[in-house]
Chains A and B, each alone.
Chain A
Amino acid sequence: MADKIALEVTRFSPERDKEPRLATYEVPLRKEWVVLDALNYVKDKVDGSLSFRWSCRMGVCGSCGMMVNGEPKLTCATFLTDYAPGPVRVEPLKNFPVMRDLIVEISDFLAKLTKVKPWIIRKDEKPLSEGEYLQTPEQLDTYKQFSMCINCLLCYAACPVYGLDPLFSGPAALALAQRYNMDSRDQGTDERMDILSQHDGIWGCTFVGECTEVCPKHVDPAGAIQQYKLTATKEWMKSMLMPWKGK
């Protein structure tokens, strides 16, 4: 095994550059090193101005998502040796505006996430003295997969619908909405329905399915969206057949 590998990294300084460019760095190729280690090596030893987000370096915080050789990846879980003999190209997450080097602007996602109300909504609150809202393991199991999302945004980088239409709510926000819809303690399904069943919500999704493929936590946003499409269609049919029932 060679002891070095070339790392091609996007550099962009909004104050100085018209557009992003690639810079190449030689980094040690070590068996236990991930792409994030290589970036930290560059920052520590070669160029301290290299900017990128990272935090936990163990696939939990969701900060270090980047494009590695064109694929959205958590750089803390992507080994350099898998790309030997290189070069390894590291670019900012696709479909988001680039702020600096490998950092993207994610306020659009944060606004969309808030819009789908990803929290437990109760119509009737129990008094504290009555204790917690209990849930069986089976009830937990219905939504647990969708609750594993770490907001790393790899799914947005893989979604061509979001790339072409920035108004689309996107995979993670919709999967998280479905996570709360399926929670037995939640009573906010109707409230979310109006937001989710808009064109920019679930119906914007054309089921490319790549969000599910790239998800490092196996959340399956594509499945969540299609399942919600079924629910929304059933609700619509019910409201057509039994208009007197109402909400």
Chain B
Amino acid sequence: MATYTEYPPRGYRVRMSTYWWLGKWPYLKFILRELSSIFVAWFVVETLMLIKALSDGLLAYAEFQQFLQNPIVVALNVISLCFIVFHTITWFNLAPKAMAVRMGGKRVPDVLIAGPNYVAWVVVSAAVAWLVLRG
């Protein structure tokens, strides 16, 4: 039998584990969504590198193209694309929560908030693809 303490400390506190996000899919999904910002940043850096290479002339641009063909860079870009698609989808799905638009005394359904985001995404992507691939 354990000893009896007359005035024990008030409340037993459990410290949260560093790996709290591993146990449950919604938590892991949240951490992945946060992590995706690093890959978004990487694409920003890559775009800046592209602009610099273009402004530095043909030789710099050829070198940049060579850099892009490096298998490690290709792999990094594939992973980044996956994370950015994940980021976009989760973000668009959360948008209706933050935007409580009311029309005619009623709240606009979630699909009407998320929907236009998806449509704009497809239209802009198609326009960019057309610009890049036509020549």
Contact = CB atoms under 8 A, between A and B. Distances in A.
A5 to B, nearest CB: 24
Contacts of A239: none
A207 B12 contact: no
Among B9, B21, B100, B105, which residue has the most Cβ atoms of chain A within 10 A?
Answer: B100
A244 to B, nearest CB: 29
B135 interface: no
A235 interface: no
A141 interface: yes
Interface size class of A (residues with CB under 8 A): 35 or more
Contacts of A247: none
A209 interface: yes
A223 B97 contact: yes
Contacts of A94: 14
B12 A12 contact: yes
B134 interface: no
B71 interface: no
B2 A16 contact: yes
Interface string B92-130: 001001111010011100000000000000000000000
B91 to A, nearest CB: 10
B133 interface: no
Interface in A189-243: 206-210, 212-213, 220, 222-223, 226-227, 229-230
B16 A164 contact: yes
Nearest to A165: B16
B2 A17 contact: yes
B119 to A, nearest CB: 22
B102 A142 contact: yes
Contact of A105 (B11, B16, B105): B11
Contacts of A222: 97
Contacts of A206: 30, 34
A227 B23 CA distance: 29
A132 interface: no
A98 B11 contact: yes
A102 to B, nearest CB: 12
A160 interface: yes
B10 A105 contact: yes
A227 B98 contact: yes
Interface in A122-139: 138
Contact of B27 (A14, A18, A99, A160): A160
Contacts of B30: 160, 206-209
Given A14-B5, A163-B16, A210 B27 contact: yes
A19 interface: yes
26 contacts: A14-B5, A14-B10, A14-B12, A15-B4, A15-B6, A16-B4, A20-B12, A94-B14, A97-B10, A99-B10, A99-B11, A138-B105, A142-B102, A160-B16, A160-B20, A164-B20, A206-B30, A208-B27, A209-B97, A212-B97, A223-B97, A223-B100, A226-B94, A226-B97, A226-B98, A227-B97
Interface of A: 12, 14-20, 70, 94-99, 104-105, 138, 141-142, 160, 163-164, 206-210, 212-213, 220, 222-223, 226-227, 229-230
